[in-house]
Every structure is written in C-alpha cells, then in structure tokens.
C-alpha cells in the first residue's frame, strides 16, 4: 500500500510499504477513506519531538472495516468507523476507568512512533487497528466523512477543553490560538452559552474564520496587547475562563493575568517543555487549572448528535483536501501556512 513515511524533520515521503495484516485476534484492518494532518504532527515534522525513521505517521483518520480478527465481534466488513487517535485495550484499569489514553494493557497512539506504542499511522491506504472492539466507533453512513473525521482528535479535544472549563451562561471566555484547536474550541465554547467569546491569534485570515465559528471579538496579538484589550472589554473585571489551545508557555502565564478570581484555565496545547507557574497568582485568585490529553474515544458518540443535527460543522476548518500522494505538500502547507492553510485533509 501507499503510506506517508517519516524520514527526518521536514522530510516525509509517500512510499510503498507492506500492507498491514491482522496480527492478533482482536485486530481489525481499516481501509482509510479520509485522514488529516494534525497540528501535533508538526511537532515531529519541525524536529521538536523525536520520531522513528521509517515510521508510518498520522493519527486522525476514518474509513471502513476491511477485515477483522476472530475475536473482533462488534464490526463487520464495510462498517463505517472513526478511530480515536489512541487505541486502548478496553480491559486494563485505566481503560475501564474511561482513560484509554493511559492504557497499560498494550494500547498506544497511532502513528507516533515506538515510544507511543508502535502502531502504524493513518496517513495511508490501510491501517491495523489493535483492540478494534474497544477502540473504534461506528458512525452514520449518511454523514459526510469531512464532518466526522475530526471526532477522532481535534474536534473531541477542543470540546473536551471547553467542557472541562466549566463555562457558565454569561461568562467571558478567552481562547488562545487561531489554529484548528483554537477554532474548534471557539465553536465548542459557544455551546455552553457564554456572553462573550474572545479568540486571540496572529493571523487575520484565521481570526476571520474564528468570528464565523462563534467568536464575538478577535484579538490579533501582533497588533495589540491581549491583556490590555481584555481589561478594556471587561471594564477591568477580567475573564471567567481561559482555554489554552496552542501549547505556548506565555499563554499559560498570561492566562493568570487575565483571569478574574475564581476563574478557570483549561489547556489542551501540547507542551514540549516544562512551564513555570505563577503560584502566587494561582493562590491569591483561586484559579482552577485543568488540562490533559483528551480520551477522544469517549467523545465520538457524545458529540454525534451535535453533528447529525447540524448544530456544529467541524469541516469548517478544512482549507485543503489533497490526494494522499501529495501529503508532503500538505505538511509544508500546514507548517508555513502558505495558501492560508488551516487544516489539510488527505484522500487515499
Ligand atoms: Zn492530534
Ligand atoms: Zn487498556
């Protein structure tokens, strides 16, 4: 099959690799119909994060069941399914506790190298799904792939960030980031009925989309100081909630400055380094801090009614749909933001 193989920073290539095979009785083989390049793929692409040379990457994908092992009972050939980015065994303590992302029974992240379980990725024609019954979710035939694909990662992750921030009607919510997570967090925050959503970024073309996705006010941090502006907007009362969707240490630190007493910081940005924490602000303002990797599996069915009813349309972030053969160009676009790229999806 054809697949996207990592070689070195800024060097991924479409190559012919062996077709994945059923290795364990609980496995399934998925024929991929749509996959995506995730912002977290840029971590290894830019060399900020180690990746094994020769590894098939990609962890945001969906497709149809091609084949199943003898212990895989829930799915049959032809079923339309979404895979969360992390496979879980379904039986260890953490999986039973609804944290497949902390699976101790052999689970792992797709397409993120040996250190994360060694499971091949989904920027490919086919992928092996371990623990298929515990990992995959069946999705409606009649809904377009583009609206369902991101349930496996960015849509669920963004919603998880907003949900954990405990947004109440009338709240002022600040979102850090105009990338895919920031945009989908903007869309998600809106569902909780805040009075004002303020999205901070530094690309006008993305901030324009943030407005279409629910932001009342956008701040381009290249042109104005976000803290000053938020003070102005809230007449000095500051914000109730901060959603950090970048993985930028200064956004964490600034969140403590722009949150009011009793406020909440929820972060989903992926940090490659430790971040120092203003403990005195945290203490004196009674800030609640929450953050972590999203157990996306739990959100696929939960968010489905929002998609089937048309209440949210995650496909709004797609700017490019490229054939799998052009995946390296897709990485370049995501990295450079040329052609106003936001989200690149791939069709095998
Ligand atoms: Zn991701
Ligand atoms: Zn497990």
Distance 115 CA to ligand 2 centre (A): 16
What would the pLDDT profile of 102-153 be if each residue is shown by its tens digit?
Answer: 999 999 999 999 999 999 999 999 999 999 999 999 999 999 999 999 999 9
Contact of 86 with 137, CB cutoff 8 Å? no
Rounded to the nearest angstrom, the distance between the alpha carbon of 153 and the centre of ligand 1 is: 6
CB atoms within 10 A of CB 345: 22
**Residue ranges of the alpha helices (H) in the chain?**
41-45, 93-96, 132-135, 145-148, 154-164, 180-190, 204-212, 226-233, 249-258, 279-284, 297-308, 327-336
Q: For 119, which DSSP code?
A: B
CATH 3.40.50.720 domain span(s) along the chain: 155-291
Half-sphere exposure of 90 (CA within 13 A, CB side): 11
The angle at the Cα of 235, spanning 256 to 187, to the nearest 5 degrees, equals 65
Residue 250: the pLDDT is 93
Number of other CB atoms surrounding residue 1 within 10 Å: 17
CA dist., res. 61 & res. 120, Å (int): 12
Average confidence score pLDDT of the chain? 97
Closest listed residue to residue 87, CA positions, set 53, 61, 125, 51: 61
CA of residue 91 to ligand 2 center, whole Å: 5
For 297-344, write each residue's pLDDT tens digit.
999 999 999 999 999 999 999 999 999 999 999 999 999 999 999 999
The CA 334 to ligand 2 mean position distance, Å, reads 32
Separation of alpha carbons 344 and 39, rounded Å = 10
Distance 47 CA to ligand 2 centre (A): 30
Counting ligands in written order, which one lies closest to the CA of residue 122? 1
- For residue 60, the ligand closest to its alpha carbon is 1
Report pTM. Answer: 0.97
Q: What is the DSSP letter of 8?
A: E
3-class DSSP state of 231: helix
Question: For residue 67, what are the β-bridge partners?
Answer: 29
Given a cut of 80, whether residue 272 has pLDDT beyond it is no
pLDDT for res 322: 98
Query: Where in the chain do CATH 3.90.180.10 domains reside?
Result: 2-153+295-347
Which CATH superfamily includes the segment(s) 155-291?
NAD(P)-binding Rossmann-like Domain (3.40.50.720)
Contacts 24+ apart (CB under 8 A), 247-253: 247/271, 247/272, 248/176, 248/177, 249/273, 249/275, 249/276, 251/176, 251/177, 252/277, 253/278
d(CA 45, CA 40) in angstroms, rounded, equals 9
CA-based nearest residue to 67, from 75, 58, 59, 57: 75
CA-CA-CA-CA torsion sign (120, 121, 126, 129)? positive
**What distance in angstroms lies between residue 135's CA and the mean position of ligand 2's atoms?**
10
**If 0-12 CB within 10 Å is exposed, 13-18 middle and 19+ buried, where does residue 25 land?**
exposed
Give me ligand 1 centre to Cα 86, in Å: 10
Q: Name the one residue in this structure whose structure tokens are 């999203």.
A: 294
Read off the pLDDT of each residue in 49-58 and give the average, rounded to a whole number: 96
CA of 235 to the centre of ligand 2 (A): 48
pLDDT at 243 over 90: yes
Find the ligand nearest to 96 CA. 2
Å from CA of 129 to ligand 2 middle: 14
Confidence (pLDDT) at 271? 83
Picking from 103, 59, 76, the residue whose alpha carbon sits closest to that of residue 270 is 59
Q: Does domain 2-153+295-347 have CATH number 3.90.180.10?
A: yes
| Per-residue model confidence as pLDDT tens digits over 189-223 | 999 999 999 999 999 999 999 999 999 999 999 99
Question: Measured in angstroms, how far is the CA atom of residue 52 from the centroid of ligand 2?
Answer: 24
- Nearest bound ligand to the CA of residue 105: 2
DSSP, collapsed to helix, strand or coil, labels residue 171 as coil
CB 47 within 8 A of CB 340: no
Nearest alpha carbon to residue 285 among 266, 257, 254, 248? 257
Span from the CA of 97 to the centroid of ligand 2 (angstroms): 9
| Partners of 218 in the β-ladder | 199
């Amino acid at each position: 099959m054809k697949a996207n193989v990592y070689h070195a920073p800024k060097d991924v290539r479409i190559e012919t690799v062996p077709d994945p095979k059923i290795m364990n009785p609980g496995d399934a083989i998925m024929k991929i119909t749509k996959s995506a390049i995730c912002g977290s793929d840029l971590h290894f692409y830019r060399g900020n994060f180690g990746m094994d040379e020769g590894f098939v990457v990609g962890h945001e994908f969906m497709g149809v069941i091609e084949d199943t092992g003898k212990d895989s009972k829930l799915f049959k050939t032809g079923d339309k399914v979404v895979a969360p980015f992390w496979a879980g065994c379904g039986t260890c303590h953490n999986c039973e506790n609804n944290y497949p992302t902390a699976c101790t029974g052999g689970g792992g992240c797709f397409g993120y190298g040996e250190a994360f379980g060694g499971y091949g990725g989904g920027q490919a024609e086919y992928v092996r799904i371990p623990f298929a019954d515990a990992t995959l979710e069946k999705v409606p035939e009649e809904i377009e792939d583009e609206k369902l694909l991101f349930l496996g990662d960015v849509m669920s992750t963004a919603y998880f960030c907003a949900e954990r921030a405990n947004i109440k009607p009338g709240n002022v919510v600040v979102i850090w980031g105009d990338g895919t997570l920031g945009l989908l967090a903007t869309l998600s925050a809106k569902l909780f009925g805040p009075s004002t959503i303020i999205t901070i970024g530094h690309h006008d073309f993305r901030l324009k989309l943030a407005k279409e996705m629910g932001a009342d006010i956008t701040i381009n941090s290249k042109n104005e100081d976000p803290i000053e502006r938020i003070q102005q907007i809230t007449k000095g009362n500051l914000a109730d909630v901060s959603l950090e969707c970048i993985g930028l240490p200064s956004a964490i630190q600034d969140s403590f400055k722009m949150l009011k007493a009793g406020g909440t910081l929820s972060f989903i940005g992926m940090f490659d380094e430790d971040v120092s924490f203003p403990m005195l602000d945290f203490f004196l303002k009674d800030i609640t801090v929450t953050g972590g990797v999203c157990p996306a599996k739990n959100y696929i069915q939960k968010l489905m009614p929002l998609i089937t009813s048309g209440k949210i349309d995650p496909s709004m972030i797609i700017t490019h749909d490229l054939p799998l053969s052009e995946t390296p160009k897709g990485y370049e676009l995501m990295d450079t933001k040329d052609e106003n790229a936001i989200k690149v999806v791939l069709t095998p």
